Structure 1
Amino acid sequence: MANPNTELIERFYRAFQDLDAEAMAACYAHDIRFEDPVFGTLRGREAGDMWRMLLARASDFSLTYSDIRASGQTATASCVATYLFSRTRRKVINEIHSKFAIREGLIVEHTDTFDLWRWSRQALGLKGWLLGGTSFVQDKIRQEARKGLAEYRRQAAS
């Protein structure tokens, strides 16, 4: 018998592959807590809006996923997202490891981890190579991401 939590995570990643942010958000509970190195902690609709924004901007995008494992009400997975970073048009290959908590058939916690310095070297070029490991640049990346999400949410609300 298939594990329903494994099926949920597979559904989430298939939607990600298809650039279907609505289907991704439908895998989340209304009180989802999402966290990653760029956006920090997002809650509720804000997490779904992050996917809506990112996938609307996606260019030359592909995603592979693997190693989905579920035990009880938790799951883990790995994925590799390949895309052109919208601001610089530089190619990024981001290796992401994810942890999920699941309640009543929906994801209630989603934590992505990846190497932000590695990401910045790809996305920002020389600046990322030289300064991407510093807290100053990483904080700037986070500020810009949150600013972009806030602007996207303002536009979506109007």
Structure 2
Amino acid sequence: MKQEENIIEKFYQAFEHLDAERMVETYHDDVTFEDPAFGILRGEKAKNMWRMLCSSQQGKDFKIKTTHIEYTPEKGTARWEAYYTFGKKGRKVHNVINAKFEFKDGKIINHLDSFNLYKWSKQSMGVTGFLLGWTAFFKKKLNKQTNIRLTDFEEKNNKK
């Protein structure tokens, strides 16, 4: 079995158990992560995003399903689906994500998660998501809010 396959499998197996420390072990120190909700995160910020997300889902109905893992020594892909309840209104979300990875020194150096932000926003935010979820304004505001939340998490947990 190739090391790259193990990295992707290790990452998602850890995610299934909300084990952020095992997840971030697969990341290179110079990692770049990008997705529609957070934008671009580098290094410790990317690692701390997973720590924050895993800690916020502990004891909840969060689950993921990973399929279509493919790899070469330089890069890999996976499709994963997340199922969870979002926000104070308890909206059910089913998000389908396509992940792309690049590897360096046996670790993930680039991780890009792509998903339909409009579809996610309609599920997670109801009418607001339906009306605004497709706009650049919405994406910019979401990126700002998620990054403020991440900074707060880092300050509370001494993770800077």
TM over 0.5: same fold? Answer: yes
Query: What CA distance in whole angstroms lies between the structure 2 residues aligned with 1:87 and 1:51?
Result: 21
- Tell me how large the CA RMSD over aligned residues is: 1.2
Q: Which residue of 2 aligns with 1:130?
A: 131
TM-score by length of 1: 0.95
Amino acid at match of 1:57: S
Does structure 1 residue 34 correspond to structure 2 residue 16? no
Asked if structure 2 preserves the Cα contact closer than 8 Å seen for 1:121 and 1:132, the reply is yes
CA deviation after TM superposition for structure 1 residue 87, in Å: 4.4
Query: What CA distance in whole angstroms lies between the structure 1 residues aligned with 2:121 and 2:65?
Result: 21
CA deviation after TM superposition for structure 1 residue 120, in Å: 0.4
Q: Which residue of 2 aligns with 1:4?
A: 3
Secondary structure of residue in 1 paired with 2:67: strand
Q: Which residue of 2 aligns with 1:19?
A: 18
Q: Which residue of 1 aligns with 2:53?
A: 54
CA deviation after TM superposition for structure 1 residue 85, in Å: 1.5
Q: Following superposition of structure 1 onto structure 2, how do residues 86-101 of structure 1 map, counting pairs within 5 Å?
A: 86-101=87-102
Q: Which residue of 1 aligns with 2:86?
A: 85
Asked if structure 2 preserves the Cα contact closer than 8 Å seen for 1:57 and 1:86, the reply is no
Q: Which residue of 2 aligns with 1:144?
A: 145
Asked if structure 2 preserves the Cα contact closer than 8 Å seen for 1:64 and 1:81, the reply is yes
Secondary structure of residue in 2 paired with 1:154: helix
Q: Which has the higher contact order (CA 8 A, sep 6+)?
A: 2
Secondary structure of residue in 2 paired with 1:78: strand
**Deviations 1:11-30 (CA, angstroms, capped at 9, x unpaired):** 10000001000000000011
Query: What CA distance in whole angstroms lies between the structure 2 residues aligned with 1:53 and 1:137?
Result: 22
Secondary structure of residue in 2 paired with 1:35: strand
Amino acid at match of 2:66: Y
**Deviations 1:25-46 (CA, angstroms, capped at 9, x unpaired):** 0000111111111111111111
Percentage of matched positions with identical amino acids: 39
Secondary structure of residue in 1 paired with 2:138: helix
CA deviation after TM superposition for structure 1 residue 89, in Å: 2.2
Larger mean CA deviation between 92-101 and 79-88 belongs to 79-88
Cα separation, partners in 2 of 1:51 and 1:92, compared to 1, 3 Å:
same
CA deviation after TM superposition for structure 1 residue 88, in Å: 3.6
Name stretches of at least 5 consecutive residues in structure 2 with no aligned partner.
Answer: none
Superposed structure 1 runs of 4+ greater than 6 Å apart: none
Secondary structure of residue in 2 paired with 1:125: helix
TM-score by length of 2: 0.94
Query: What CA distance in whole angstroms lies between the structure 2 residues aligned with 1:37 and 1:100?
Result: 16
CA deviation after TM superposition for structure 1 residue 142, in Å: 1.2
Amino acid at match of 2:51: R
